[in-house]
Structure 1
Amino acid sequence: MFQQMKYFIAVVDEHSFTRAAEKCNISQSAISQQIKELNQTVGTPLLKRQGRSFELTPAGNYFYRQAKTMVSQIEQVLKNTRQIADNEQEEYVLKLGYLQMFGTTEFLKAVTIFAEQYPEVKVNITSGQHDHLFKLLRDDRIDLDFSDQRRALFDEYNNEFLTKAPLMVNIAKGLLKLNDSQVTTDQLKDIPCILVAPDASEEQYCRDVLGIKRYILNPHPERARPNN
């Protein structure tokens, strides 16, 4: 009877058996038969035909209003029931992304501690470059992104500052006259260098943001390091 009530509501809302049948994805003859059976179940006509049109009988008008409320409530009950069942079967997964150039020791230690405290949560870890991780975050494919800051922070995310890390550069002795242990990107931008950039986004960042102009690209850090 629940399905028949839905068909009846569709007929009244569309004021057409044809449009109601299309809306419910059944044939017009089938929906007419369902309304006929509903009249028999209720024990009184709900619709009064007038040629090709129809109008609600007083009983039909009452039944329509009550049925619409009941169908809405039943559909909500069904939705809530399915959601409860899904939650019972749901596996809690925390999806983490961390920058490939970061050291893994402290990160994995923190993940281990978390896993010990919350054994019911499965942890998935993805490593990658900055732009790749940011896209995963935007696409809701990771929950937390442990990365460096290369753009203005987005208010739609919770942004937590964790630490500050320097960028390192290997320079041949005598190439620069350094008064201290630091060097600026301005000092480096015109010096030929081996640029360690595993993908195009890293190369673009070093070139367009840091201003490194003269370089040979090498995606492998272990091969780019000098022997002495």
Structure 2
Amino acid sequence: MLFKQMKYFMTVIDCNSFTEAAEQCFISQSAISQQIKSLEKELGVELLVRENRQFTLTPAGEYFYRHGKVLLDEIEDFKEETIRRGKDRELSLTIGYPKNFSSLELHQTIVEFTNIYPEVNVSIMSGTHEELFEYLLNQQVDMKISEQRRTFHDDYYNFELKYSDCFIEISSKHPLAHKKEVSVEGLRNMSCILVVSKGKEDSEREFYEKSLGISHRFLYAESLDQARLMVLSNRGFLPIDQIGQLPETISGIKRIPLKRNGQSLQRNYFACWHKERANYYIEEFAQMFRNLLNK
């Protein structure tokens, strides 16, 4: 039994026409008719009862169509997965994430993912939100995790992960450290410490100042560890997003929920990748990450 003969038969039934099926399969009507007759001869049973230009399915034909359809779908999935796994570029996955991002679930997802797909080499890159977008444009990362700061582009998949609660980290010596929550308005006289790469300070400052209404004075650190050292020395506060379970703060630092107008300050986080570079592994990682975040 030829695979093509099965496909021809399914197409005839789906189209309810030999003529339309032949056009879809790019062969002549007589050729597709002959192929189905050859299929019936091999099986030794009639699948169709032909009456002039019409036909009906025999009980054997109904069974063959119903189960054959499932089989062909499985074969197609098998074929696509084989192709995906055979492409060199799909055997590596680079994920970009924000510099001020602290998520145990990201690392848990990487461990779980690599246990299931050991053939995939997973690597990570950190950067500011603007840098992550540049990394994605330049194909330095396959997927970026970041909050929504711009209008979504039609060329990209934007996979919603979670609304993230905002916190600040502040020195335990600061008077605000004993509070259960702190408002954006109450931080206006303090310096805001941002984790940002050199040359990206202005764009990051503008976002925090205009979009979130945080502070009017800013200090900059190139890493999360450096920023926390600045917090320990009581130079300002560090904004932190809780996109998952946050690790314990280090000794000497207090983490406090951030509010604005009495409401929790939240930011919406997405996984984003280019449609032309989409593959099974990117989609699977994004789904696994979201599942962990929303447990």
Instruction: Pick closer, same or farther for the CA change 1:221–1:114 going to 2, 3 Å.
Output: same
- String of CA shifts for 1:111-150, please: whole Å, max 9, x gaps: 1111111111111211111111111112222111111222
> Which residue of structure 2 aligns with residue 209 of structure 1?
211
> Which residue of structure 1 aligns with residue 134 of structure 2?
135
Equivalent residues of 1:194, 1:216 under 8 A apart: yes
> Which residue of structure 1 aligns with residue 192 of structure 2?
195
- String of CA shifts for 1:5-47, please: whole Å, max 9, x gaps: xxxxxxxxxxxxxxxxxxxxxxxxxxxxxxxxxxxxxxxxxxx
Equivalent residues of 2:191, 2:215 under 8 A apart: no
Instruction: Pick closer, same or farther for the CA change 1:158–1:88 going to 2, 3 Å.
Output: closer
Counterpart secondary structure, 2:205: helix
> Which residue of structure 2 aligns with residue 144 of structure 1?
143
**How far, CA to CA, are the matches of 1:124 and 1:146 in structure 2?**
13
User: Equivalent residues in 2 for 1:58-207 (5 A)?
Assistant: 90=88, 92-169=91-168, 170=170, 172-173=174-175, 181=181, 183=183, 185=184, 187-188=185-186, 191-199=188-196, 200=201, 201-207=203-209
Quote the offset at 1:214 in angstroms.
Answer: 2.9
Rg comparison, structure with higher value? 1
Counterpart secondary structure, 2:125: strand
Equivalent residues of 1:194, 1:218 under 8 A apart: no
**Which AA in structure 1 matches 2:123?**
N
Counterpart secondary structure, 2:152: coil
Counterpart secondary structure, 1:206: helix
Which structure has more strand as a fraction of its residues? 2
- String of CA shifts for 1:151-186, please: whole Å, max 9, x gaps: 2222221111112222223495479xx9x8462x4x
**How far, CA to CA, are the matches of 1:133 and 1:109 in structure 2?**
21
Aligned length: 136
User: Is 1:221 the equivalent of 2:227?
Assistant: yes
Counterpart secondary structure, 1:159: strand
Structure 1 stretches (4+) deviating beyond 6 angstroms?
none
**How far, CA to CA, are the matches of 1:174 and 1:128 in structure 2?**
29
**Which AA in structure 2 matches 1:149?**
Q
- String of CA shifts for 1:199-221, please: whole Å, max 9, x gaps: 31322322333334531414232
- String of CA shifts for 1:35-80, please: whole Å, max 9, x gaps: xxxxxxxxxxxxxxxxxxxxxxxxxxxxxxxxxxxxxxxxxxxxxx
**How far, CA to CA, are the matches of 2:176 and 2:110 in structure 1?**
43
Counterpart secondary structure, 1:162: strand
**How far, CA to CA, are the matches of 1:213 and 1:102 in structure 2?**
20
**How far, CA to CA, are the matches of 2:159 and 2:118 in structure 1?**
25
Identical positions, percent: 24
Equivalent residues of 1:188, 1:212 under 8 A apart: no
Unaligned runs of 5+ in 1: 1-86
Structure with more contact order per residue of length (Cα contacts < 8 Å, sep ≥ 6):
2
Counterpart secondary structure, 1:107: helix
**How far, CA to CA, are the matches of 1:129 and 1:137 in structure 2?**
12
Q: CA RMSD in A?
A: 3.0
**How far, CA to CA, are the matches of 2:152 and 2:227 in structure 1?**
29
Instruction: Pick closer, same or farther for the CA change 1:216–1:119 going to 2, 3 Å.
Output: closer
Equivalent residues of 1:96, 1:144 under 8 A apart: yes
**How far, CA to CA, are the matches of 1:88 and 1:146 in structure 2?**
26
